[in-house]
Amino acid sequence: MPTFHSSVATFQDNSTHGEDSYLIRDLGNDNFLDAVMDGVTGHGGEEASQSVLDALSAATLASPEDVVAVLEEINQEFFQVGGGRFLLTTVSVALYLDGHLHVISAGDSPVYVINANSHQQLSGRVGGFLHVGVAQAIGATDGLKNLRRVEADIEPGTRLVLATDGVSDNLTVAELVESVRNSSTPDDASQRINDAVAARIEEGVLPEALGGRFRHDDRTAIFRFFGS
């Protein structure tokens, strides 16, 4: 399977709680690992999200099983210290190896794969479907029982987005997909989504499908565009 070169951009506003983290790691030969972590407020979230970032940064990663092993180990460490009540964070990982995308996630930080005429949400929640919450976060259980794993093929022009719920709770999937699809570069997508969320903050009102009221939270997103 061919491997496609990609370009990437990010944005982060951690001013609400300071508990989001993200990682972009070049694994060589156009392979990469992207990850977002959203620490659970009031449950040691900042320390937890940073610890997952540090672990994924330091590990040798040659397969999705290596990522799972890192998350299982740190989950056990968190649970031993926090007993399922402290040191909690979501994690969503996109691991691209040899032309194939592996998404590994715990909690509700969404990952989207967007093509010219279609899109998929590979983690997170959609109107109650795929709903995952604190009980599925890293550190919540003795043994990582609710880790979600999905694989996806990449084609020329595919666009990958990882986000925390400060983004996804304040924009509909349709709004996010349209903005990313209409962007010429990852930097353009980052600016469009950041501007859209900022406009929602100013308005203070959301579509009824999102509950009608803006949710103040940390906001982090990674935008990666694949070329030919």
pLDDT in tens, 13-38: 999 999 999 999 999 999 999 999 99
207, pLDDT greater than 70 = no
Q: Where are the domains of the chain?
A: 6-226
Q: Are 32 and 6 in contact (CB under 8 A)?
A: yes
Report the C-alpha gap between 227 and 6 in whole angstroms: 6
Element (H, E) at 50: helix 45-58
Query: In the predicted model, what is the mean pLDDT of residues 78-89?
Result: 96
Pick one of 1.10.3720.10, 3.60.40.10, 1.10.540.10, 1.10.760.10 as the CATH number of 6-226.
3.60.40.10
**Residue-level pLDDT at 132:** 45
- Residue 128 binned pLDDT confidence (cut-offs 50, 70, 90): very low
What is the rounded average pLDDT for all residues in the chain? 90
- Residue 199 binned pLDDT confidence (cut-offs 50, 70, 90): confident
- In three-state form (DSSP H/G/I as H, E/B as E, the rest C), the secondary structure along 138-179 is ECCCCCCCCCEEEEEECCCCCEEEEECHHHHCCCCHHHHHHH
Report the C-alpha gap between 23 and 35 in whole angstroms: 5
SS3 label, residue 36: strand
96, pLDDT greater than 50 = yes
By CB atoms closer than 10 A (0-12, 13-18, 19+), residue 134 is: middle
- Listed in order, strand segments (DSSP E) in the chain are 6-13, 20-28, 31-38, 91-97, 100-106, 111-114, 119-123, 148-153, 159-163, 219-226
Q: Are 124 and 92 in contact (CB under 8 A)?
A: yes
Query: In the predicted model, what is the mean pLDDT of residues 173-197?
Result: 96
